[in-house]
Amino acid sequence: LNGAVDYANDTTHLGSEITYSCTKNYRLNGFLRRYCLDNGQWKIWYRDPEKIGVYRKTQVSTDSVGDVAHYSCSCGFYMEGNETRIYLQNGSWSGTTPLLVFI
């Protein structure tokens, strides 16, 4: 073995993160981090997908009760979470912002 896996907070539950590292004179081939999904698998996902340019949300001009936002993502990713969210009377959006998972 020419590397290591670090478990953030020493846990392996939903949302846990693992980080890979390599020993001297070796280079990581692939992704540095993975996250535990609700199905028990470790996947690559992007918590801030707008930065990588594959996450789109329909423009909502005003936050009015009943407004609907639709989310989509580019080829090579799939979405975990709500694809559609509705603006609620309490001033928040229903559901959660979806995450993009690299396939």
Could you report the per-residue pLDDT of 50-74, keeping only the tens digit for each? 333 344 556 666 678 888 888 877 6
Q: Would you say the pTM of this structure is higher than 0.85?
A: no
Token representation of residue 50? 């707008």
Cα–Cα distance measured from residue 37 to residue 57, given in angstroms and rounded to the nearest whole number: 23
Which structural domains are found in the chain, ordered by start? 3-44 (no CATH), 55-102 (2.10.70.10)
The pLDDT confidence band at residue 85, using thresholds 50, 70 and 90, is: confident
Evaluate whether 66 touches 87 at the Cβ level (below 8 Å). Answer: yes
| pLDDT at site 53 | 35
Quote the Cα angle for 45-47-50, to 5°.
105
